Structure 1
Amino acid sequence: MTNINRESHVSIMDISFINTTKDKLLNEHLYPKLNNGEKCFIVTANPEIVIKTKEKPNYKKIVQSADIVVPDGVGIVIASKHKKQPIHKRIPGFDLMLDLLYYANEEQLSVYFLGAQDDINEKAVKEVKKRFPNVKIAGYHHGFFKGLEAEIAKEVQNANADLVFVALGSPQQEQWIYNNINQFSKGLFMGVGGSFDVLSGESKRAPKTWIKLNLEWLYRLLKQPFRWKRILKVLEFMLRIFLKKE
């Protein structure tokens, strides 16, 4: 893990979350790493991901190996307050990705987009070209490449991008980064889940009011009822926190 003051972290179920604001995370940690050409593995973790680390020891090892674990989920913030080590605020992974794209646009950095369905991946890249014209598109590829793992990894390596956004869903996206990051000399690597769907316009984020009230999870559930199993994972997380005091 990168050398960040341990006092600025909160441990929840053995996962060490950075405890800072989004602006400080960007300005004090991520932008300097991009400027210096350093490697960085970012996990944006919500309660569902934390529960997965309890269920899968190998996945736990992967998440713990990340340079920065970001609290993406109001349940993480609630858990930190219960531990009397309050995290400043939830840092949504989608917002963090957008801020990094804005910075890449300002600094003319290169970005690789890996994951999602073929049409969604292409639409997301097209949207980036429109909204961030100075971003250099290092490459892009959909997330269905079973049997071609080595070839895709080599393609991403050859692109030599400053940022690599991986939208394979958890735990696959973190597994991909963990398996391949040592082959790179630079790059900020971040799993972004379904962010390409939102970026492409295929899915809509919750209205700002819902986000401000930390109800984005409820909006998603109402729009996508099939996500109910994910909500069960959140409930399991909260029960573990409040009943077992993990």
Structure 2
Amino acid sequence: MKNERIAIMDIPFINLTRKEFLENHLYPRLMDNEKTFVVTANPEIVMRTREDEEYKKIVQSADFVVPDGAGIVLASKYIKQPIKERVAGFDIMLDLLEFAEKKGLSCYFLGAKEEVNKKAVEEAVKKFPNVKIAGRHHGYFDAGDTRIAEQVAKTNPDLVFVALGFPRQEKWIKENMHRFEKGLFMGVGGSFDVLSGVVKRAPEFWIRLNLEWFYRLLKQPFRWKRILKAFEFIIRIVLKK
């Protein structure tokens, strides 16, 4: 992927449009049964990699790190290496579900609360009636419990959506990918909450203006500490330059 990656705070982000990323990389790898680890990273995740060396190595080891955050795109412009566009993890998940339905691929949903997980799967089936659901499991289990990973692996899924929140979801993927014969593994954060309808996504107008973060803050004021991390990220980019 020469010239298709931009390093921001030592994290190699893809520099591709969503369409390019899917059609040139994810879809072909899925059809070739090639194991794939995708990290959808926002400024908070990048800041976490500064504090957690183990986590940093895990993120750097991913096959693809996606710029899922307006702050990442803004930072790339500031350092004069502009990333083509923000690639939202939620959108990628929907694209992959649609592709899975068309190609007869199976999906596993791991994470979130039991009721949210169940509802997310129900909504996925409503949107994509013919998609194959390999299985599902809530996210309330001990990180070191290998039985869950073994259960998931037994279903032989083509795609595994992991909604355990960072850094836990990426660590779980890294520690357990070896148990699978194939599969695309992607940490999806709070995407099950949005898919299930528990959390409403920002209107398209806000998304186009790269203000989805502000909309979420208005709807979920308790997220203010996370927003501060995003501002710290931008400040560090400016100071470093």
TM-score band (shorter)? over 0.9
Aligned twin of 2:164 = 168
Question: What residue identity is the alignment partner of 2:166?
Answer: S
Question: What residue identity is the alignment partner of 2:228?
Answer: L
The 5 A counterparts of 1:196-211 are 196-211=192-207
Aligned twin of 1:59 = 55
The 5 A counterparts of 1:164-243 are 164-243=160-239
Aligned twin of 1:80 = 76
The answer to whether the 8 A contact 2:149-2:179 is kept is no
The answer to whether the 8 A contact 2:69-2:86 is kept is yes
Q: Distance in 1 between matches of 2:216 and 2:79?
A: 27
Aligned twin of 1:131 = 127
Give 1:147 deviation, angstroms: 7.0
SS in 2 for 1:25: helix
Task: Calculate the aligned-residue CA RMSD, in Å.
Answer: 0.9
Give 1:134 deviation, angstroms: 1.4
Aligned twin of 2:41 = 45
Relative to 1, partners in 2 of residues 1:170 and 1:38: Cα closer, same or farther, differing over 3 Å? same
Q: How many residues align?
A: 241
Instruction: Give the TM-score taking structure 2 as reference length.
Output: 0.98
Match for 1:68 among 60, 64, 79? 64
Q: Mark the runs of 5 or more structure 1 residues left unpaired by the alignment.
A: none
Where do 4+ consecutive residues of structure 1 move more than 4 Å?
Answer: none
TM-superposition CA deviations, 1:143-190 (whole Å, max 9, x none): 001277211010011011000000000000000000001221100000
Aligned twin of 1:156 = 152
Instruction: Give the TM-score taking structure 1 as reference length.
Output: 0.96
Q: Distance in 2 between matches of 1:123 and 1:51?
A: 32
SS in 2 for 1:146: coil
Q: % of aligned pairs identical?
A: 64
Relative to 1, partners in 2 of residues 1:147 and 1:228: Cα closer, same or farther, differing over 3 Å? closer
Match for 1:119 among 115, 122, 145? 115
Question: What residue identity is the alignment partner of 2:83?
Answer: I
